[in-house]
Chain A
Amino acid sequence: MASAKSWRSFFHASATAVFVVGASRRLRYANPAWELLTGGDWSKLRGLRLSAFRSATPLGQTLMPPPEVWAGETARVRRAPPDAAAGPPWWDFTFVPLPGPDGKLLGVVGFLTQAGERATRRTPAKLPADIAAAQADHARHYGFELLTGTSTAGERFVNLVRVAASTIAPVWLVGERGSGKTLTARVVHHQGPTRGKAFVAADAHGVQPYLLDAMLFGKGGATLPTPQGGSAVGTLYLHDPGLLPRDFQGKLADYLSKSAAPRVVCASVVPPHADARLIDNFATRFGVLEVRVPSLRGRLDDLPWFTERVTPHPVADATWPVLAAHDWPGNLREFADTLRTAAVRAGELPIAPEHLPRVLRERHLLAANPLPQARTMALAAVLEAVERRMIEDALLACRGNATAAAKRLDMPRATLLRRVEAFRIPAADGGTP
């Protein structure tokens, strides 16, 4: 067994910076490579208290193992050195917990390496000037022509979007999943009075509320004021705000009620007044102008128009009835995925029915050849047949014993006998049960 002295000498000779933290969160050991890297003097740092709180020294905060290590897991962490707000250089830590024989944590071994070269001190660089050009180029892709179709429903929808874009009032888009709510919100922004600023989407699907909070209101958050004055956000798009915790909804409502706040566009599957997850003032304050985004099955006349925008691939005439027979529950997203996959299958040829998924072709066949009118079936006759069958089965199982069969069916014996007589059921053993 290695002695305490031997492991210490082993670490001492290592070129990798190693340090040991005791269970009491104090620095218990550091090798010369660690001293060289951190620039610290071990004789003065022995017993240094490590903590994530500001009460600890900057070095003590930087060296503190994360909570999962104290829970017994190995962790790799990248942090800025204590004298810098950010890297490079970065300090890459690997923390290894040291559990004792009874499972209790004895301490943590930390391995420290430095990544990247320290940059020479310079005035912090400003954002490049070509950012505005990139934004302008991006904005050009979101015009009304993206939404305009040939159907009546499409025209009515685009007219509503034009009204929404011409005002600065809060807009609430209501539509099924995949119907193009985010695209519509972008068109409203880029064609509206706030187009000079940024469109920021906060999607509660997939991004946890604390991350959204940090993205909007944290250090470097999008809604903070810029040196030019005011926020850089022109439109804040909230996708399904009902998923957000109610306290965060309240925080958003307070922020968006300020005079300098950006414009709000919300989107959800259900209308705001019907969404019980929303706090009261949220739905009433931001559900001012409600725009219904039509589903694809309500705009089947626009299928050729949508197809031109999804793929340049030609479509055979026989394909259109197959596409129109489907009800497209996934709306435009499903339609675009289906067409792109079919275009790959078709290769050089126009997209034909056989390139579409089988479910679409079968649905078209069923629609073209409807089933014959089903026979009417009286409920009483069905119930009678079921009752007769159950009584027969029970008598058969009980070898014609009416008492046992009645018990099995959980009914009085007299009732069973009346039903047997009414149905004219022969006894299982050939006689009257």
Chain B
Amino acid sequence: MKYPQVVMCTLDDALPNMLRGFLHDHRWLLTELRQPDAIAAQLKSPRPGVVFWQLDPTADSPVPLGLVGELSREFPDAPLVVVSDAKLPVEDRPAWTATVLDLGAKYVLFPPFTRLVLEDLAGGLMAAAIERLTGGPPEPLPADPEAIDLAEGGLADD
């Protein structure tokens, strides 16, 4: 199996920077994009993948919502997280969330973005994608050499 990859199509570097260390620890590839049209090409390689796509539903340019549907139909095993970076009125948010989920997104994220939530989403979705592809859970992280193993010592020589 090739290295799993997280594809992040964002407006700036803030979100990738929040996840960079986490992905490096897991040895997962981070692919940063600016053009949504390039997401599909990244997902064609046979490896587990998770997509974070930051889009503004109120932008002047037409929202490429059709592309959300196309990606979810063509790559059903690559979970898509839509990151909504917009000043949507609060009363419009439920409709927006429901619409994006209807088009096949796995999750819709609103600001403020915290590293903990991003790591939980990326880690959980990637673990599920790896399990779907390989039939087993992902490899655990290498042990921290500074961690103290309480089970060690005292029993081996008894």
Contact = CB atoms under 8 A, between A and B. Distances in A.
Contact of A225 (B65, B94, B113): B94
A2 interface: no
Interface stretch (B12-20, B33-41, B143-151): B12-20
Contacts of A75: 115
Nearest to A137: B66
A208 B115 contact: no
A128 B73 CA distance: 22
A227 B92 contact: yes
A233 interface: yes
Nearest to A116: B12
A207 B106 contact: yes
B57 A127 contact: yes
Contacts of B62: 128, 130
A131 interface: yes
B3 interface: no
A79 B112 contact: yes
Contact of A201 (B57, B101, B117, B135): B101
B14 to A, nearest CB: 5
A337 interface: yes
Interface residues of A, number: 60
A206 B129 contact: yes
A76 B96 contact: no
Contacts of B120: 208, 211
A76 B58 contact: no
Interface residues of B, number: 58
Given A79-B112, A138-B103, A211-B117, A124 B89 contact: yes
B115 A77 contact: yes
Nearest to B129: A206
A249 B124 CA distance: 20
A289 to B, nearest CB: 22
A58 to B, nearest CB: 13
Contacts of A205: 128, 131
A76 B115 contact: yes
B94 A226 contact: yes
Contacts of A222: 94, 97-98, 101, 108
A221 B94 contact: yes
A135 to B, nearest CB: 6
Contact of A127 (B14, B99, B114): B99
Given A199-B102, A206-B125, A87 B69 contact: no
Contact of B101 (A124, A126, A198, A206): A198
Interface of B: 12, 14, 17-18, 46, 57-58, 62-63, 65-66, 68-69, 73, 76-77, 79, 85-99, 101-104, 106-108, 110-117, 120-121, 124-129, 131-132, 135
28 contacts: A86-B86, A86-B110, A90-B111, A124-B88, A124-B89, A126-B89, A126-B92, A127-B95, A128-B57, A130-B65, A131-B65, A134-B65, A134-B103, A137-B66, A138-B102, A141-B69, A198-B102, A200-B101, A203-B128, A206-B126, A206-B127, A206-B129, A211-B117, A215-B107, A222-B98, A222-B108, A330-B135, A341-B46
Given A86-B87, A134-B65, A227-B91, 18 more contacts: A76-B18, A87-B85, A87-B87, A115-B14, A126-B58, A126-B89, A131-B65, A131-B99, A135-B103, A137-B69, A138-B66, A206-B106, A206-B125, A206-B128, A207-B107, A223-B94, A224-B94, A227-B92
